């Protein structure tokens, strides 16, 4: 077996558990749980994922996800180590106006009756502050990420390590994103690893943990 397949076999139970937890957010979660994931994926670009999630939990604890204004949200994000906090706060406020409450139904209006790729591509156009990566991240984190890839810097570095791409691109247009995504999907198939699991394996190899 390849080293990736060895890692997959070793931590498959943990991966399956994590993916099950993601799916349960959409299946069992209310508006706040789903909107939290939307806010998290809004905060992750150019930020540490752990700090971004910590900031979201802080906003939730202080009822700022539902009620906070842009100034207070920006201050909370800054205090919790989120860079570009003013822009992120503005995105959260705009997305709250568009997607909260009734979050699940409003998201379904965008993605219903579409393939995973079509849903992702439509969602990134509707959520303020998102690109393809953030929309992919959100769909994976609510259990709907089959067949799409979260091409963040950690994943891109691993794709270089395994020869899937030659280098980490300095910028990623939509066309480039889709091309790299197809290469990662083909690589996952060759390795006999589901692509949503491969994403977590790459994260595990970079950070020695399974996270979001």
Q: Which residues are catalytic?
A: 133, 152
Cis (ω within 30 of 0) for the bond into 101? yes
The DSSP output letter for 17 is H
Are 41 and 134 in contact, with CB atoms under 8 Å apart?
yes
Token pair, residue 36, equals 């939290």
Are 141 and 20 in contact, with CB atoms under 8 Å apart?
no
Taking the C-alpha atoms of residue 4 and residue 192, their distance in angstroms, rounded to an integer, is 10
What's the CA dihedral at 196, 53, 11, 153 to 10 degrees? 60
Are 198 and 191 in contact, with CB atoms under 8 Å apart?
yes
| SS3 label, residue 168 | coil
Are 138 and 123 in contact, with CB atoms under 8 Å apart?
yes
Are 134 and 44 in contact, with CB atoms under 8 Å apart?
yes
**If you count them, how many residues does the chain have?**
212
């Amino acid at each position: 077996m390849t080293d990736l397949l060895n890692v997959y076999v070793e931590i498959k139970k943990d991966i399956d558990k994590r993916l099950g937890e993601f799916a349960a957010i959409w299946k069992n979660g209310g508006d706040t749980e789903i909107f939290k994931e939307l806010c998290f994926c809004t905060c992750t670009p150019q930020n540490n994922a752990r700090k971004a999630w910590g900031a979201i939990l802080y906003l939730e604890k202080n009822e700022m996800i539902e009620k906070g204004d842009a100034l207070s949200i920006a201050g909370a994000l800054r205090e919790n180590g989120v860079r570009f906090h003013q822009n992120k706060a503005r995105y959260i406020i705009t997305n709250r106006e568009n997607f909260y409450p009734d979050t699940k139904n409003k998201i379904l209006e965008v993605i219903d009756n579409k393939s995973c790729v079509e849903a992702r591509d439509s969602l990134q156009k509707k959520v303020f502050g998102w690109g393809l990566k953030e929309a992919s991240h959100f769909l994976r984190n609510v259990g709907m990420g089959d067949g799409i890839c979260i091409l963040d810097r950690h994943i891109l570095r691993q794709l270089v390590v395994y020869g899937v791409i030659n280098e980490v691109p300095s910028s990623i247009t939509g066309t480039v994103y889709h091309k790299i995504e197809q290469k990662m999907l083909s690589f996952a198939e060759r390795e006999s690893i589901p692509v949503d699991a491969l994403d977590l394996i790459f994260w595990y190899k970079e950070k020695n943990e399974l996270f979001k």
